[in-house]
Structure 1
Amino acid sequence: MNKVLVTGATGFVGTALVTSLTQHFNVVAGVRHTAVSASSVQLELGDLSSATPQLATFQGVDVIIHLAARVHIMHDTASDPLSEFRKTNTTATLNFARQAAEAGVKRFIFISTIKVNGEMTVKDLPFQVELTAPPSDPYALSKYEAEQGLMALAQTTDMEVVVIRPPLVYGPGVKGNFATLINWLSKGIPLPLGAIHNKRSLVALDNLLSFITLCVTHPKAANEIFLISDGDDVSTTQLLQKVARAWHKKALLLPIPVVWLHFFAALLGKGEAANRLFTSLQVDNSKATRLLGWQAVTTMDKQLEEMAKFYKA
């Protein structure tokens, strides 16, 4: 049975991934600090950017799934955000990966971000794996540079690399803006989002977990980059209607013209957040289905129903 080490194992995706993987593999949860009441085997990783080889960390490990990262921050107070993102997402990742390769780890799965491709797409022209230009956003650039370093490492060592760029992940336990929207809808708060006709790709947590699990052992995943999504794009308005339906609530969505919403968002300094609500971001996941034979294991409606049960409990 393959031994899999998951970094960032206490996060939203990491927690669910460790639980899911234990059904198929011998799993070690890589954490910053060991929890007293842990439900899985834990390994305290410490500073991943340390240049000191941590060979004991990789003892018996066949595959690493690297989730640990400094995530995108809406209101970053760092004087040099790019430097801070690079420290964790690029330098630490590549240092950790080099040590893993030296220790004989067979495969390194890197969870990147769709932001590497960009923030928005022209409607019905989804992102492909290939890039037109490197990203300018500090968070996305740090992830892109890590991708490039990992692919170079795969060319000079025996360790295989798999890169996965997911869009917004939703599921039980989700936080951030998605959780805020759920809170507003569950309280019956009217929202001026009833006339948005964009297209957004999302990925259900269960779908992402199934794809990562497939990449642990599939031979054709080696040294490839994948975009992943549910394959069922929705507008912001449709998404909110689906969320309300899962919560058995009436969606109070006011049909305010998008041009007005853009104007008021800019006045309030919320232009970046507005772009995610009003613009399109579509992902072509055909490579995952064509090369690996992957198929979604759940639908958006079913995942939202699971979320509703989770939050009500």
Structure 2
Amino acid sequence: MEIVITGASGFVGSNLKKYLESSHDLINLSIRYSKGQKIELNGDVVIHLAGKAHDLKKVSIPEEYYEANFELTKQLFDAFLTSKASVFIFMSTVKAVADKVEGILTEENVPNPKTHYGIAKNQAEQYILSKELPEGKRSYILRPCMIHGPGNKGNLNLLYKLVAKGIPWPLGAFQNQRSFLSIENLCFVAKELIENESIPSGIYQVADNQPMSTNQLILLLGESLEKKSRILKLSKNVITSIAKLGDVLNLPLNSERLQKLTENYVVSNDKIISAMGKSMSISAEEGLKKTFMSFKK
């Protein structure tokens, strides 16, 4: 089976290529949005990963999100509808639904994205859902939560450095739960969607089976480093006051960073598990340990 992948050079794309290359023929499609362009697709499956990632520094031009994440997806999906390809997989995000989660996020939640990144992804989702699929074609919208894996330098790497230096974790009093997604599990789901024709088209959230607290992450990091993790349960009021001071004095800990480190964001994967008829390939703990061990190297 020939699989066309856009955004193949990114973190998800490079891992997906390694995962699929032994069982399928892969075609890299390097593409950017250009007004009025017509795209020709030659392949059996299209996996659309290309797009503009969320800019945490908030310096990006809003128009860039809509061109890269919405307009380009429209062009590619239109090309899919008239091509010989039978499967289209669009990599969206849970941020297309919500930036904050009360309880557990499911596919039934009404989307209310707050950022240009999330809004553009949601617009792409709505466009895909608005089109009638020709007979024999399937389309899937995947909403992954925070993806991690060997080679990914994100917030988990920052926590790793803190534990490696023996610095105590000061936010132990905050009890949160957050869903993560191992890159291995994401690749596993993509392969199932390609090969299992019985999985209905639609939107599927993707997350590891178990959410984790930040305190659990700190303990897991200690195990990976073979060091004793130290967790301090300082007063929430004291920490909040320090964060507010950080807003004014530009300290490492400010209100926004405190929220990101302690917020709840639990994502249900029940729908995709039910559709596949099997569980994820590895546990949340196993996937996180693989990521942490890669930081050592």
TM-score by length of 1: 0.85
Question: SS state of the match for residue 196, structure 1?
Answer: coil
Equivalence for 1:74: 56
Cα offsets for 1:144-173 (capped at 9, x unmatched)? 1110111123x1545431011111111111
What amino acid sits opposite 1:91 in the alignment? E
- The yes-or-no answer on 1:176 pairing with 2:154 is yes
Rounded to whole Å, the distance in 2 between the matches of 1:21 and 1:251 is 37
- The yes-or-no answer on 1:64 pairing with 2:46 is yes
Equivalence for 1:5: 4
RMSD, matched Cα: 2.0
What amino acid sits opposite 1:183 in the alignment? K
Rounded to whole Å, the distance in 2 between the matches of 1:218 and 1:20 is 16
After the TM superposition, list the runs of 4 or more consecutive aligned residues in structure 1 that deviate by more than 6 angstroms.
none
Equivalence for 1:310: 294
Equivalence for 2:79: 99
- The yes-or-no answer on 1:111 pairing with 2:91 is yes
Contact 2:211-2:284 within 8 A present in 1 as well? no
Q: Structure 1: any 5+ residue segments left out of the alignment? A: 31-44
Q: Residues 234-249 of structure 1 correspond to what in structure 2 (within 5 A)?
A: 234-249=212-227
- The yes-or-no answer on 1:20 pairing with 2:19 is yes
What amino acid sits opposite 1:150 in the alignment? I
Rounded to whole Å, the distance in 2 between the matches of 1:102 and 1:49 is 19
1:258 to partner: Cα distance: 3.5
Contact 1:50-1:95 within 8 A present in 2 as well? no
Q: Structure 2: any 5+ residue segments left out of the alignment? A: 248-253
Q: What is the percent sequence identity of the aligned residues? A: 26
Equivalence for 1:144: 122
Corresponding pairs, count: 290
1:50 to partner: Cα distance: 4.7
Cα offsets for 1:240-276 (capped at 9, x unmatched)? 2112212222222221233433443343244333222
Residues 46-55 or 173-182, more deviating? 46-55
1:284 to partner: Cα distance: 1.4
2:145 is aligned, of 167, 185, 194, to 167
Question: SS state of the match for residue 234, structure 1?
Answer: coil
Contact 1:207-1:297 within 8 A present in 2 as well? yes
Return closer, same or farther for 1:218/1:273 CA change in 2, 3 Å cut-off.
farther
1:223 to partner: Cα distance: 2.3
Question: SS state of the match for residue 249, structure 1?
Answer: coil
Q: Residues 9-48 of structure 1 correspond to what in structure 2 (within 5 A)?
A: 9-30=8-29, 45-48=30-33
What amino acid sits opposite 1:166 in the alignment? P
What amino acid sits opposite 2:55 in the alignment? I
